[in-house]
Structure 1
Amino acid sequence: MAKKNILFLCTGNSCRSQMAEGWARHFHNDTIVAYSAGIEAHGMNPNAMRVMKEAGVDISGQSSKLADTLIDVSLDLVITVCGHADENCPVFLTKAKLVHVGFDDPPKLAKQAASEEEALDQYRRVRDEIRDFVSKRLPDLISED
């Protein structure tokens, strides 16, 4: 069976979509090829890399990229992980099955934190929510094709 090409799309491709790509590679590397991209490219978020590494997944080799860099990839599934990406999904991506699964924005939440540890806890919470989605619900979305 051929691997499915899955894209996790968010606004800046710096945090949530990067975590999702990392988890997808960690859990489903034998059945999917995971990509992440953004409507914009904001660079890799160091706190996202930090909390993923705490969980045993190294995403430091991934890079922040624009969705249009994947125009030649035949995608089977595009998962938007933030509302802005869902509302502004590039047209060429709509050839694939589209699913929206929104997650809170850790950098935004971290701005309101009273300490660095409290800020990192926001990243950890979202990391774990994304892990649960990717490990438990993604296989069902792939098999629905």
Structure 2
Amino acid sequence: MSPQAAVRVLFLSMGNAARSIMAECLLRRLGHGRFITFSAGVQPRGEVHPLALKVLRERFRLDPGGARSKSWEEFRGEHFDLVITVCDKARETWAVWPGRPRMAHWDEPDPVAFEGSEAARELLFLQVARELSVRLDLLCALPLEKLMRL
């Protein structure tokens, strides 16, 4: 891979309704064109959770336009340089991605599954997005040639 080539990254979760969608949108902005981002679910919910979209819009000033919940099957045969699972269940389900990309695992709590007040739920969505943002900042700080040698 040449240093100028963009790294193709897939974020994989179970439902592709919050964590993987937020990571996809955040890296698209934080990566400044160095990454081509995608997200998918092992068992997609079929819709992006409204609080995930709200946090991206209001707290991160991102337009998540076009974000949609989709199955990993949509990407069968696609090449990825890096696949990042964002929940233990997704990692357990897909220990090896076709094409043998580099794999990373960032277990994050599922804000969609959390039961509580609307304010508490939004706070958890924000907390998860902030944690993902910190991890993505660190990923972006790596020189691409070192990233691809990991």
Is TM (by shorter chain) over 0.5? Answer: yes
Q: List, as ranges, runs of 4+ consecutive aligned residues in structure 1 with deviation greater than 6 Å.
A: none
In 1, are the aligned partners of 2:9 and 2:35 still within 8 Å (CA)? Answer: yes
Match of 2:7 among 4, 8, 21: 4
User: Aligned partners of 2:89, 2:14: CA distance in 1, in Å?
Assistant: 6
The answer for unaligned runs of 5 or more in structure 2 is: none
RMSD: 1.8
State yes or no: 1:106 paired with 2:101.
Answer: no
In 1, are the aligned partners of 2:16 and 2:39 still within 8 Å (CA)? Answer: yes
1:91 Cα deviation (Å)?
4.8
Count of residues paired in the alignment = 142
Question: What is residue 122 of structure 2 aligned with on the other side?
Answer: 120
Judged with a 3 Å threshold, the aligned counterparts in structure 2 of structure 1 residues 39 and 138 are, in CA distance, closer, same or farther, namely farther
Question: What is residue 75 of structure 2 aligned with on the other side?
Answer: 70
What is the SS of the residue equivalent to 1:6? strand
When the two structures are superposed, what TM-score results if normalisation uses the length of structure 2?
0.87
Judged with a 3 Å threshold, the aligned counterparts in structure 2 of structure 1 residues 141 and 14 are, in CA distance, closer, same or farther, namely farther
User: Aligned partners of 1:37, 1:141: CA distance in 2, in Å?
Assistant: 26
Question: What is residue 94 of structure 2 aligned with on the other side?
Answer: 89
State yes or no: 1:17 paired with 2:8.
Answer: no
User: Aligned partners of 1:84, 1:132: CA distance in 2, in Å?
Assistant: 22
User: Aligned partners of 1:53, 1:24: CA distance in 2, in Å?
Assistant: 15
Give the aligned residue type for 2:48: M
* Structure with the bigger percentage of helix: 1
User: Aligned partners of 1:46, 1:101: CA distance in 2, in Å?
Assistant: 22
Q: Percent identity?
A: 28
